Structure 1
Amino acid sequence: MSVAELLTLGVFALILLSVPIGFAIVAASAALLIWLDGPSLMVVPQRVFGGIDSFALLAIPFFLLTGNLMSAGGMTGRLLDFANSVLGRFRGGLAMSGIMASTLFAGISGSAVADTSALGRILIPAMKKAGYRADFAVASIAAANVVAPIIPPSIAFIVLGVLTNQSITQLFLAGLVPGALYGVAMLLLAWWIARRRNYPVSAVAEKGAVWRAFKASAFALLLPLFILFGIRTGVFNVTECSAVAVIYALLVGTLVHRELTLAKFIDALRQTARMTAVILIIVGAARVFSWILAYYNVPTEVAAFVSEHISHPLVFLLLINLILLVVGMFLEANAAIVMLVPVLFPIAASLGIDPLHFSVVMVLNLCIGLITPPVGLCLNIAAVIGRLSLERAALGVLPFLGMAFGVLLLITLFPSLVTFIPSLLGGR
């Protein structure tokens, strides 16, 4: 067996034994170095530390904290009220409102898991109470929040930008159109299913209700625009922007809405610390994985094999879609990015594939894995909130998975959907 096969099998064997992903990668890497009598084991802690020793990665805890503070400060409910005032009049309006709110909230937190937890606690019980089937309520909210790692600020794009030395600002801009397309696709599907199943219609909002809801949620709606404007104009870089966003969330939550108490603030810090630790342990551990692959020339061998058998960029992208969709079923997105980028990114570049296009295709692929059984973290969280078995949740999410695959295929076939905004605003 090759080094790559041994290392991958070791990681998956430990994951099946319920070892957390980050620790599974480190343990399998260390075991392989011992087995092959390779370099000193001191390489492992050195590479783990080197993997997280990046100024740009500081943006991750700040953006996560921003999302948690916004949620604790009452902005999640205000975004949902605004979405419901706009879409509640349509059949299935509550589900559509949830999808719209998820898309808006994605521009604040950058984390699909955090958004599913925050919005799911509000929306899934409300939808069940209103007469929606439990599997539809769980599936629609889980699928809607997949958009979070695509719309800026995206944690996945920050990690990928650090690994590939790409502009994180360019990656953020590249995610705008695909994220919007995904959100619209989910809205249309929810509306179509609601019509077929005759789900309830909310009362038409009274005159002026939309404007009042918009004003109430204005501070939350302005934050994503503030982030993009600040980064694009060079007022601050991505990391500085994330710190400013935390201050913004604190001021709005305490001085404007006055819902952010000391207890909620401490809880937001606790949640952020937990989520940051999980992400950074995975990033650091996966750096060991990628270093071992590079040490034993695995990327070079894979590149030679691909160049010998595949010469057309589209064929390569379609093949990568299939591979990443399978990988996304089992691996957390950030772990998969750190493990696979050193192998796949140079091959894509050698075939002339635009780096931004490849990056967005890769992230969207792995995000779809968040609602793909058996791991499907967002699907699992939503199922727990909805008190639904994973089997029933998996059946309910199938139409949404089909629509997600359609958006992925569209993005793969038409690179201009990704590169248009960066070319227009980013000076490419």
Structure 2
Amino acid sequence: MTTATQDPAIDGVTENEFARPASPFMRPVEFIAAMLMLSVIALLLTGVISRYVVNLPIIWIEEAASIAFIWLAMLGSAIAIDRNEHLRLTLFLQFLSPRIRAVTEATALVAAAAFLIALIPVAFEYTYEESFITSAALHIPNSWRVAAIPTGFVLMLALLALHAIRECRIADLLIGVLIVAAATGILWAASPLFIAIGNLSLGIFLVLLVAVCLVAGVPIAFCFGIGTLSYLAFATHVPPFVMVGRMDEGMSGVILLSVPVFVMLGCVLDQTGMGKVIIDFLGSILGHVKAGMSYVLLTSLFIVSGISGSKVSDMATVAPALFPEMKRRGNKPPEMIAQLATGAAMADTVPPSIVLIVLGSVAGISIADLFASGFVVALVLLLSLMALARFRARHESMDGVKRANLKTVGQLLVIAAPALILPFIIRGSVTSGIATATEVSTIAVIYGLVIGAILYGGITYSQIYRMLVETAAMSGAILLILGTALSMAWAITQAGVGEVLAQFAVSMPGGAISFIVLSIAIFLVLGCVLEGLPALVLMSPLMFPIAADLGIHAVHYAMIIVVAMNIGLMAPPLGIGFYLACRIGNVAPDSAIRAVWPYIGALLIGLAIISAVPWISLSVI
């Protein structure tokens, strides 16, 4: 799952052993977060049983789950800071001298802390105002729910201070404080000018300032937050109070309840070995042909992603199981990394993709339609990659490779069947309308735990507890990005940028075709720099209305931008997913860069087909 790393290109995404040990005073917080995660699952499961088994819906369950959810998100964000698990770009820091890098990282910490210091009083004010609103079902003040926001901010600030004391020199911190204070003073003094130039100030705060923060290694969620807060404070008369409200709205969507549950499902997949039995079965039926192990790798990523919903989990499950045999057959490690990275690029279109769930929430698109379309789109990408793998494996040595007999295949099928049917249960239930993504995610977790305990070696209580805490941390990191990115998108929209973009798109020669090409270019670049969720959350409120005006179906457009974003995510030299694949496969990025480009090309061909033929995306909805 998503954790911290020392990779020179990216922080926030690889194995647990690279994470900092938990601070002693955070253990009670981790326990509370684990219990909140357990409560969310229990509440959702109770809701499913009451609705479908006894046919007596309990009206307050959704509200109670929503309260637990936002507390889980905010405490999880704090745990992610303690574990150094917030996603941040560190590619540019490696080019700095050790001394300059130390000062830059200290300044990044101070900037994040300054953002929290500025928002904490506003968050408490927001909580007080919400105390006058009573919830519909539980009849309690809404402040019980939103008090999670200032609590999380205070915890994060304390942890940033602790981290700064432990990791930074006092001199570096003082320099960082001076830099942030000086920048704040300059922006405050220039405030009348920023207000006078109107929307031009958007470029200064929401492009230039955010870019500077990204390059300096500030966590992505804080980059968006710093840019938005600075814009509101120094270039508008809008109170920062509004930003907290937008963050609350961005992190509180009922449909987002499925995000932490699917994250939990990915942990279950890792711990129980359900992914490995699927790989073993696929190897028995495909491993004897040329490019067979490449087929197994790509198909495994396709199927496993339908269980975990996480690219990190997908690659970490598949690579260790397949790479040794692929090496024995003469496959070169750079080629294997290329297939691993680009195979994972289709994961965000295979249900139950967390990206599709969030995109559906932000853009107001049916999750069932996105799931149905994403499965077909991923098949197109899978076939493109398999065709290239077969061509490049035409000289592969098959000496000593034997076809598995029917008895072996049958035995492996029996073992793998309970795991194989899980992704189809998820897809079928959501796309047919039997259950929502949130309900299915809950059922899938219980199914995975029971099947894993009975058939795949069992799972201990300590492992379950660690999975609950890990889920809280990863979910908190995701949802904080979502909250700050949505507040930034709101600021951009309120400034009228959407109307300007719409007029520009309409005036472009070629109409819808030109807009699709422009969108692909935008999301390829954003995928390289921002990773999936931030790019989609930031741009979707701006781009989808334009697509609708040009007559582009929302589901078709969603597939185009998600695929483009994923290709950018895996494209070197900036694509952070590429470095993640190299880390998991233990291959130097320099040696894998040349091998990955043909597979990037195959994905681009697949994207061109998907873009040119809307029927592919729309035929199953």
- Name the TM tier (shorter chain): over 0.9
In structure 1, distance between residues paired with 2:398 and 2:203: 49
Structure 1's 29 and 329: CA in aligned 2 closer, same or farther, altered over 3 A? same
In structure 2, distance between residues paired with 1:253 and 1:421: 32
Name the structure 2 match of 1:342. Answer: 541
Name the structure 1 match of 2:232. Answer: 33
Larger relative CO (CA 8 A, sep 6+): 1 or 2? 1
Cα shift at 1:278: 2.0
Cα shift at 1:38: 3.0
Name the structure 1 match of 2:585. Answer: 386
Q: Equivalent residues in 2 for 1:52-71 (5 A)? A: 52-71=251-270
Q: Is the 8 A contact 1:113 1:377 kept in 2?
A: no
Aligned partner (choices 396, 416, 434) of residue 235 of structure 1: 434
Q: Is the 8 A contact 1:143 1:371 kept in 2?
A: yes
CA RMSD after TM alignment: 1.8
Name the structure 1 match of 2:515. Answer: 316
Aligned partner (choices 10, 15, 29) of residue 214 of structure 2: 15
1:2 maps to 2:200: yes
Structure 1's 375 and 262: CA in aligned 2 closer, same or farther, altered over 3 A? farther
Q: Is the 8 A contact 2:372 2:431 kept in 1?
A: no
Aligned partner (choices 485, 493, 496) of residue 297 of structure 1: 496
2:486 counterpart letter in structure 1: R
In structure 1, distance between residues paired with 2:399 and 2:516: 41
255-264 vs 165-174, which moves further? 255-264
Q: Is the 8 A contact 1:109 1:148 kept in 2?
A: no
Query: Alpha-carbon deviations, 1:142-181, whole Å to 9, x = none?
Result: 1111121101111111111111211111111111211111
In structure 2, distance between residues paired with 1:197 and 1:208: 27
Name the structure 2 match of 1:425. Answer: none
289-298 vs 303-312, which moves further? 303-312
Q: Equivalent residues in 2 for 1:162-241 (5 A)? A: 162-196=361-395, 198=397, 202-241=401-440
Q: Normalising by structure 1, report the TM-score.
A: 0.94
1:267 maps to 2:490: no
2:512 counterpart letter in structure 1: P
1:50 maps to 2:249: yes
Q: Normalising by structure 2, report the TM-score.
A: 0.65
Unaligned runs of 5+ residues in structure 2 are 1-198
Unaligned runs of 5+ residues in structure 1 are 423-428
Q: Is the 8 A contact 2:349 2:375 kept in 1?
A: yes
Q: Equivalent residues in 2 for 1:78-227 (5 A)? A: 78-128=277-327, 130-196=329-395, 198=397, 202-227=401-426
Structure 1's 197 and 38: CA in aligned 2 closer, same or farther, altered over 3 A? farther
Q: Equivalent residues in 2 for 1:329-368 (5 A)? A: 329-368=528-567
Structure 1's 184 and 337: CA in aligned 2 closer, same or farther, altered over 3 A? same
Aligned partner (choices 605, 613, 619) of residue 406 of structure 1: 605
In structure 1, distance between residues paired with 2:380 and 2:264: 27
Query: Alpha-carbon deviations, 1:107-126, whole Å to 9, x = none?
Result: 11122222122322333355
Q: Which has the larger radius of gyration?
A: 2
Aligned sequence identity (%): 30
Aligned partner (choices 573, 578, 596) of residue 374 of structure 1: 573
Aligned partner (choices 476, 480, 484) of residue 277 of structure 1: 476
Aligned partner (choices 428, 433, 448) of residue 249 of structure 1: 448
Cα shift at 1:305: 1.9
Aligned residue pair count: 422
Q: Secondary structure at the residue paired with 1:224?
A: helix
